[in-house]
Amino acid sequence: MTVSSPPRVLTVAGSDSGGGAGIQADLKTMLALGVHGMSVIAAVTAQNSLGVQGYWELPPEAVRAQLDSVLGDIGAQAVKTGMLASAALVETVAEALSGVDAPVVVDPVGVSKHGDALLAPEAVETVKSRLLPVATVVTPNLWEVSQLTGVKVEDERDLRRAADAILALGPAWALVKGGHLPGAPVDLLTDGDREFRFTAERHDNRHTHGTGCTLASAVASHLALGEDVPSAVGKAKEYVTGAIARGFALGAGIGPVDHAWRQRA
């Protein structure tokens, strides 16, 4: 009996030693959604439920070697990027992905859930000029929107202005996540012409470590499975909402979302 291989999704991100975010969250999400996850590690963090105690970047040549190894042999139906740490790594990844014929989901990670910086200040301009133009979808939260564009989102009416500012930097689609606004969580997706709003119930749960990584990986997974961008985002939003609802305590701080919530159910 011949078993066909599932769609392949590559994550390029940092490792989270606590297992709730980063590469670990990405691969768990991909497995839960039925795709084959592959990884390029850009940085290693010492991280737990209380915060990030430190991180160490890999050399650009090591990151490029991983990219060439996976993409040159196995290939990918979608790529997701997360923590890239430095301008040199952002440039290395952007150069490699510019020649990839697959959708690229960019999670422009700037800080951790605990507020710890995960991107060097001088790398922000490189993200804007080199990485966002190769992106199919960019998934910033409100803090990342401000970091990249200077736009401050104070209520839901500001979401479209923020998305348009992101689109001006070159991606095909912008998904601005409004979860930090008061009221029901609303995310806005647009390509400049079409606009979609995704709402969900707000769960009273502080264990939300890894939500951004999980959402972006879920979007990439559904794109690899053949969904168009709006449908991929809608299904990813449904998955991450369920994962947040079942987030669990781990350690003394903020616990992770439950990537296996559907399997446990």
114: how many CB neighbours lie within 10 A of its CB? 14
Task: Mark whether 99 is an active-site residue.
Answer: no
H or E stretch at 83:
none
Catalytic residue among 80, 113, 128, 177: 177
Task: Mark whether 253 is an active-site residue.
Answer: no
* 3-state class (DSSP) for residue 38: strand
In this structure, what token pair is assigned to residue 126?
A: 């490189």
Catalytic residue among 11, 29, 45, 208: 208
H or E stretch at 59:
none
Task: Mark whether 92 is an active-site residue.
Answer: no
59: how many CB neighbours lie within 10 A of its CB? 11
Q: What is the pLDDT of residues 88-112, one digit of tens each?
A: 999 999 999 999 999 999 999 987 8
Catalytic residue among 213, 237, 241, 247: 213
- What mean pLDDT comes out for the span 221-250? 97
- The answer on pLDDT for 207 being more than 70 is yes
CA gyration radius, the chain: 17
- The answer on pLDDT for 60 being more than 80 is yes
Which residues fall within 8 angstroms of residue 88, CB to CB, at 6 or more apart? 60
* Residue 2: pLDDT band with limits 50, 70, 90: low
* Residue 201: pLDDT band with limits 50, 70, 90: confident
Task: Mark whether 213 is an active-site residue.
Answer: yes
Q: How far apart are the first and last CA of the chain?
A: 31
Torsion angles phi and psi, residue 112, rounded to 5 = -80, 175
Task: Mark whether 177 is an active-site residue.
Answer: yes
* Residue 117: pLDDT band with limits 50, 70, 90: confident
Q: What is the pLDDT of residues 138-163, one digit of tens each?
A: 999 999 999 999 999 998 999 999 99
User: 118 and 112 in contact (C-beta within 8 Å)?
Assistant: yes
Strand partners, 165: none
Task: Mark whether 183 is an active-site residue.
Answer: no
Is the pTM higher than 0.85? The answer reads: yes
Q: What is the pLDDT of residues 35-48, one digit of tens each?
A: 999 999 999 999 99
User: 32 and 260 in contact (C-beta within 8 Å)?
Assistant: yes
User: 23 and 66 in contact (C-beta within 8 Å)?
Assistant: no
Q: Please tell me the predicted confidence (pLDDT) of residue 129.
A: 97
